[in-house]
Amino acid sequence: MALARPTAILLSKELQTEFRTRELLTTTIVFVLMVLVLFSFTFDPTSIESRRFAPGLLWLTLLFAGSLMLHPSFTREQTNDTLAALRLAPIDPTAILAAKILANCCFLLVAEALLLPIFAALYNLHVLPVLGQFSVVLLLGTLALATIGTVFSAISSQARMRELLLPLLLLPVLTPALIASTEATAGLFDEQPYLSLQWVGLLAAFDAIFLTVTWLFGEYLLEE
Amino acid sequence: MSVASQPNSSSRGVTVEFQDIEKRYGVRYALRGVSLRIDAGECVALVGANGSGKTTLLRIAALLVRPTKGTVTFRAGSSAAPLAHLPGQQRIGMVAHNILLYDDLSAEENLELFAKLYGLDRPKERAAAALQPAGLINRRRDPVRDFSRGMRQRLAIARALLPAPGLLLFDEPATGLDPAGQHWLGDTLGQLHDTGCTILMSTHGASEAHSIVTRAVRLAAGNLAEDSAPSGDPQRILTAALAAEQGS
């Protein structure tokens, strides 16, 4: 309860701010759309080719879009030093990180939900028969991206060269999650679709480990 | 750092004790061995040239910055024993260089957000009650980004006062305020001082807030250079600091 209440209050603030400005959602959706359209024109893929490289393309695009979206997560708080105001409040500092992770996860999932039909149409993929299983993979992969991205956004926001630092930190750490998400997605778009429990299990374990680490050490990430 | 929790029933003020505080940023010292005790209910003006360490000391008192060396101890009222932990910093109010408010939210939404985070009941009414004396009630639904510098500062002060703090940390609170705003600030600080609230503020130039100052401390290059406590005349240090500013 000590964590849930401030997290809910701060999540509501994050959503309120974003749906008022629409800065993060708009840029992310436009970026992902451009990349997907450009690649579809470049390769003009057949159904067989799509099954081979579309999962990797989708997750790489989401990774780059994520690093674009997650960067302002904490730099926004620097404009008026609002992070200091949040740290002055009698709340568990982990609530600040938890609210940001949840908000970023929501924004990425909204962007994915809007772009999924376009992705399926451009790459000639049959998403509907595996929609439920694909949603699980998307949710776990997006949670990994949001968790690591938010944590590194907090770290990099206090550094010089912060724009370069976030992707440099994000890409190596997210590699296992990226591979697991791509492999799990590839299985779903196979000729005989299947959900690879091995890769989904790895994704779930990755999420659990990094959420726990964030919960344990999150307080130190927010210090000046 | 050890910090206190509940206020003394006789006073809402907090006693703050800095012991041998040192803060380094790389090889540069912001503070060097500052030891200072501020008793509950005191109103202390922190003066000194730019870069003398005033803001760093305030941020250490707000627990926003961890000192490289030394400790900060908080006590409830004039109680002798430092309490083991502070359940959050609900008794510290701060006005910093930045306004600590969200530009995209309205004045009312900002104060409501912080009232909720401080666990205050009826946050909407609390927000309205804080906006009224700050003269912003008619602009409560406007986004903060549309506010003038003075209005932003008034709102920042209203936010700091929202949780009825026992310790107020003000970093040049009169910045951007017009004469009416400065008068309001002086009145507000006077009322808070009467309730026993401990006030530590860094100041530049002449301010109406100086009239309630009970003690002045001057920092120079991160060192504690002068302290009017306990029985000295704070106005002498304030006047000298003002003269130094005007001369530079």
Q: What is the pLDDT of residue A24?
A: 87
- For chain B positions 113-152, those within 8 Å of chain A (CB to CB) are 113-114, 116-119
Q: What is the pLDDT of residue B77?
A: 66
Q: What is the pLDDT of residue A138?
A: 96
d(CA B189, CA B168): 9
Beta strands in B150-238 (DSSP E): 167-171, 198-202, 215-220, 223-227
d(CA A202, CA B35): 53
d(CA B116, CA B98): 21
Task: Spell out which residues of chain A touch residue B66, defining contact as CB-CB under 8 Å.
Answer: 223
Question: Is B62 part of the contact surface with chain A (CB cutoff 8 Å)?
Answer: yes
Model confidence at B93, pLDDT cuts 50, 70, 90, reads very high
- Identify the closest residue of chain B to A90 by CA–CA distance: B88
Q: What is the pLDDT of residue B2?
A: 40
Question: Is B50 part of the contact surface with chain A (CB cutoff 8 Å)?
Answer: no
Reported as a single tens digit per residue, the pLDDT across B147-157 is: 999 999 999 99
Each domain of chain B, given as residue ranges in start order, spans: 14-91+165-247
Cβ distance B64 to A88 less than 8 Å, yes or no, reads yes
Give the burial string for B181-204 (b: 16+ CB within 10 Å, else e).
Answer: bbebbbebbeebbeebbbbbbbbb
Cβ distance B62 to A88 less than 8 Å, yes or no, reads yes
Question: Is B168 part of the contact surface with chain A (CB cutoff 8 Å)?
Answer: no
Q: Which fold has domain B14-91+165-247?
A: Rossmann fold (3.40.50)
> Which pTM was predicted?
0.88
Report how far Cα A77 is from the mean position of its chain's Cα atoms.
19
d(CA B156, CA B100): 7
Q: Which residues on neighbouring strands pair with residue B224, listed in sequence order?
A: B219
Question: Is A192 part of the contact surface with chain B (CB cutoff 8 Å)?
Answer: no
Q: What is the pLDDT of residue B175?
A: 85
Cβ distance B116 to A9 less than 8 Å, yes or no, reads yes
User: ipTM of this complex > 0.90?
Assistant: no
Task: Spell out which residues of chain A touch residue B109, defining contact as CB-CB under 8 Å.
Answer: 16
Question: Is A208 part of the contact surface with chain B (CB cutoff 8 Å)?
Answer: no
Tell me what percent of the residues of chain B surpass a pLDDT of 90: 53
* Short-list B220, B218, B163, CA closest to B192: B163
Of A17, A21, A82, the CB nearest to B101: A82
Reported as a single tens digit per residue, the pLDDT across B197-206 is: 999 999 876 6
Of B59, B90, B100, the CB nearest to A85: B100
Q: What is the pLDDT of residue B138?
A: 94
Q: Give the minimum alpha-carbon distance from B65 to chain A in angstroms, rounded to a whole number.
A: 6
The answer to whether A31 touches A65, Cβ cutoff 8 Å, is yes
Q: Which residues in chain A show pLDDT less than 50? A: none
Q: What is the pLDDT of residue B8?
A: 36
Q: What is the pLDDT of residue A21?
A: 87
Reported as a single tens digit per residue, the pLDDT across A171-218 is: 899 999 999 999 999 999 988 999 999 999 999 999 999 999 999 988
Cβ distance B89 to A90 less than 8 Å, yes or no, reads yes
Question: Is B92 part of the contact surface with chain A (CB cutoff 8 Å)?
Answer: yes
